[in-house]
Amino acid sequence: MQKQDVVDFKNQITMLLKNLDIPLSEDDLLKIIEVPPEKNMGDYALPCFKLSKLLKKPPKAIADELALKIQGNLPDYLECVDSLNGYLNMFIKKTVYFESVLETILAKGYDYGSSLIGGGKKVTIDFSSPNIAKPFHVGHFKATILGYSLYNIYKFCGYDCIGINYLGDWGTQFGKLIVAYKLWGNKKEVEDNPIKALYSLYVKFHDEAEKDPSLVTEAQAWFKKMEDGDNEALSLWHWFKAESLEEFQKLYDILGVKFDVVVGESYYNDKVDNVVKLLESKNLLSQSEGAFIVDLEQDNMPPCLIKKSDGASLYATRDIAAALDRKEKYNFDKALYVVAVQQNLHFKQWFKVIELLGYDWYSNLAHVGFGMVSLETGTIKTRTGNVVFIEDVINKAVEKVKFIIENKNTTLKNKDEAAEKIAVGAMIFSFLSDTSYKDTVFSLDKVLDFNGETGPYLQYTYARICSLLDKAKVEVSSKIDYSVIVDDSIIDIFKIAYEFPDTILLAMSKNEPSIIAKSIMTLAQAFNSFYHSNTIITDDKTLMHARLAVVKVTQTILHNGLRLLGIEPLKEI
């Protein structure tokens, strides 16, 4: 079957109205035609208030006239039209609506909802970005799954995506870590459990530095040695980094997250001087209390610090160097930075510096901010040890899922693998189901609550659907009797399915995976309502084939939505 797209009813209605000599352009009509909030108001509506000024008639009169004209020559895709309070309401024939969705889904399969809007374009997505030798906590988890979901969404929309893990592998914290390791460290403990051992040393350093401030001076000296190329300092740093990366990779494998590029801040150390020279050549650099800055007062921002008084580089300098390097390497059309909203000012500052340097691609840089994740006991603070290791959370989640599986499905094969995927899916959905910029108070009990609007609910629904299709042993076809699928829940299912391609595009345009999460949750709820009200596999073949078509539509949308969020669709649970 040839691939196709669903019928664009909104565009057809636009052409219909345009042929009625409405004094608006096609683009203007497309903009004002809306989807009513209630089903009884139609599938599409034209508010006639803007036309009232142009035609010098009351909105109700215009809607009445248009309704009469259309009813006199009703297109075959419209059931009826009516006029209500200045709105022209249009109802699509359900059989035409259903057939368009089903034929397209059967033709496209798991490509349904994809597009070529990003064809020939590149997007770099900077996400995850944990700090070497520090715990991968729930905040990093949010950055990782949000970034990877965006990676999936952009790729599904035709973009050439470059996923970048930009590691925090440089800075004075490594001077602190070197001092702590030389004073209290144990090589075997680091090798056995790198992150926890190194993190314990980091916390101990801050505890001891409160009693002995000279430790901070010593740490600064060790970091300066790193910047100056000292062999001992760099050798320890390389070791800390290698051990940390090995641990991080274990977690990425569990999450199913992959990167195209893994690079640390340190990679840009030898490129910082070029940034300084470039800023000087544009007369943008000035000195303030010994430090080098770009003055942003006219843009109502504090100065962007480029170099400290001791010559050490800063985050902004390395981010500017990285952006210039990535533009040269990848020639991106868009560059996303998935970082907590607390860094808003930082990104505004160095984005502005890129603009002041005269690069017109500054407008293609976007900070995708997400709300901070705090604990029920307070804000995450790595210096004091108030963190939750994501590895511990996943392990606890897996144990709980195993218990549930053993009580519900004793015959399930690969229980351990299924439990891990369900646990990870539960955590991913808990973070991506709400608007990303909102702050989150992390509660282990809530994340592991498998009732209600959760990831496991979606996975169980998907598994139930797969079981139904396997049991039926029927090839789903679009040649069905559409008149027998009349439940409200079915109308909801097809409406969500019809809108799914636009839902994906909206999620991409807003860099907001929660739009997809909400859509597939509503779909799953509608399907379960349909499932509990109807017998799917029945002796009535006409009815069974029609209902199986509904099942297939739901399965396709759920599969694609879960994949885009980074959740594994499981055929059996």
CATH, residue 545: 1.10.730.10
Q: Which CATH number is 19's domain given?
A: 3.30.1360.70
Structure confidence by residue, pLDDT tens digits, 96-142: 999 999 999 999 999 999 999 999 999 999 999 999 998 888 888 99
Q: Domain end: 352, 375, 398, which one?
A: 375
Task: Note whether 83 and 227 are same-domain residues.
Answer: no
Domain membership flag for residue 380? no
- Report H helices in 409-540: 415-432, 444-447, 455-472, 488-509, 514-533
> Does 233 share its domain with 140?
yes
User: What pLDDT does residue 376 have?
Assistant: 66
69 part of a folded domain: yes
Q: Are 285 and 353 in a shared domain?
A: yes
Give the CATH number for residue 182: 3.40.50.620
Q: Examine the fold and report which residue of 325, 357, 375 is the final residue of a domain before the chain moves on.
A: 375
Domain assignment of residue 399, yes or no: no
Spatial distance between the Cα atoms of 259 and 338, rounded to a whole number of angstroms: 14
Q: Is 401 within a domain?
A: no
Stretches where the chain sits below pLDDT 50 are 1-3, 379-384
Tell which residue, 386, 422, 391, 394, has the closest CA to residue 406.
422
Same domain, 39 and 172: no
Range of the domain at 346: 127-375
Q: What is the DSSP string of 332-370?
A: -SEEEEEEEGGGHHHHHHHHHHHHHTT-GGGGGEEEEEE
> Is the full-model pTM beyond 0.85?
yes
- Say if residue 361 is in the same domain as residue 435: no
SS (H, E, C) 288-326: ECCEEEECCHHHCCCCEEEECCCCCECHHHHHHHHHHHH
What was the pLDDT predicted at 1?
32
